[in-house]
Amino acid sequence: MRGRIMFLLIAGAFVLASGIYFYEGALKEAATANGTSTADGAYVAQNTDSYIKWVDFNASYEALKKACLMDIESYESDVHLDWIVLLAYAAVRGGGEFGENSEKYIDSIAKQLSEKEITKEDLAQKYEYFSYYYEAYGAVLGGMLGEYEIEDGNGKMQKKYGLKAFSPIAKGFSYQDYDDFGVSRSFGYKRQHLGHDMMGLIGTPIIACESGYVEAIGWNRYGGWRIGIRSFDQKRYYYYAHLRQNRPYAEGLKEGDFVTAGDVIGYMGHTGYSDKENVNNIDTVHLHVGLQLIFDESQKEGNNEIWVDFYQLARFLSANRSDVERNDNTKEWHRRYRLVDPVVEEAKKSQNT
């Protein structure tokens, strides 16, 4: 009996140790892209084929707004505060969560960076998971801030630096939403909802959140008429689904087209949940918008997909909604003010060389 108890104790200890080992190993794999530890606790990638396997993006609307404003306001200062650095630091300090102290963390590190008491490289050395959060959050937010030119009310182009990403719902159109990421879905098979639903009216113009190219367009049994737009750096895939029956897309839009952030790409509807095309089988009129992160092409489809909660991003982007106008002859909506995004211009040049 005593021997059996001893065996069970040893076995239990082994299982516990194994669980801790694999748990810590999983964290390190996510945070370091299969790196190895250095003497000072930092992690350095050793395998050039390694990549991040999972991201929980929990940055709050309040933190996004604060970090974004600090970045923009310091753009031409002696020290330009990178909002991704600020958010990565807040994530490290909060253990990946954003709570009541997150904005204090941002204020604190912004002050230290501005006064040149610390650098991004110092943070990577000091905090074990800073490099992970910086890369992960950079993948989510990398195309949202930058230089661009936009047409003013007099038809002249103005150079600016700031938020060049847009809400997926056009300005002047109402919608309702709540955080529904991860809730259960049952059509076809039981699964999680890996996107964000924004409820509105049929025909509401749908906007490209970020500049990119149309990677997928057409019918999907789950998403109905849908559009998939890939960012030019290949890291983000925006998925817009349940578009309008009969006329789901902006006129002439096709696979391979370049789109600029703020462009009208389609119209809200409730198509989907059908193997037959052009069917309204969704009860509620809404846009499903999803954001997939891709660190390696093997993650694009299959069991390794990374989808992030878009709710806080939708709240953040609601402050920048594309102003649109209707062509009464074609009944199509178009953006009112032209925007020139350098990444689109670079892509056009690359295509022509």
What is the Cα 142 distance to its own chain's centre? Answer: 9
Provide mean pLDDT across the span 258-282.
97
pTM of the full structure: 0.85
pLDDT tier, 99 (very low <50, low <70, confident <90, very high otherwise):
very high
Instruction: Tell me which amino acid residue 243 is.
Output: L
Domain 162-352 matching CATH 3.30.300.30: the answer reads: no
Q: Which of 150, 178, 172, 176 lies closest to 163 in space, CA to CA?
A: 150
Per residue in 156-197, pLDDT tens? 999 999 999 999 999 999 999 998 776 766 565 555 668 899
Share the mean pLDDT of the chain.
87
Distance CA 22, CA 144 (A): 35
31-35, 198-202, 282-286, 291-295, range with the lowest pLDDT: 31-35
DSSP one-letter code for 89: H
Kindly tell me if the per-residue pLDDT of 146 is higher than 80: yes
- Asked if 224 contacts 218 with a C-beta cutoff of 8 angstroms, the reply is no
Dihedral (CA of 124, 129, 130, 133) sign: positive
Q: How many helices (H) and strands (E) does the chain have?
A: 8, 19
Distances (CA, A) of 77 to 71, 239, 340: 10, 37, 24
Burial class (CB in 10 A: 0-12, 13-18, 19+), 156: exposed
Distances (CA, A) of 304 to 48, 50, 340: 19, 14, 35
Kindly tell me if the per-residue pLDDT of 343 is higher than 80: yes
Q: Which of 279, 212, 281 lies closest to 240 in space, CA to CA?
A: 212
Token representation of residue 311: 């709710």
Kindly tell me if the per-residue pLDDT of 49 is higher than 70: no
pLDDT at position 158 is 97
Kindly tell me if the per-residue pLDDT of 12 is higher than 80: no
Distance CA 111, CA 103 (A): 12
Burial class (CB in 10 A: 0-12, 13-18, 19+), 331: exposed
Domain boundaries, the chain: 2-45, 61-146, 162-352
- Asked if 211 contacts 201 with a C-beta cutoff of 8 angstroms, the reply is no
Q: What is the largest CA-CA distance in the chain?
A: 90
Token representation of residue 310: 């878009």
pLDDT at position 186 is 57
pLDDT at position 187 is 60
* Secondary structure (3-state) at 273: coil
pLDDT at position 42 is 31
Distance CA 337, CA 16 (A): 60
Kindly tell me if the per-residue pLDDT of 257 is higher than 70: yes
Q: Which of 213, 226, 224, 57 lies closest to 132 in space, CA to CA?
A: 57
pLDDT at position 190 is 54
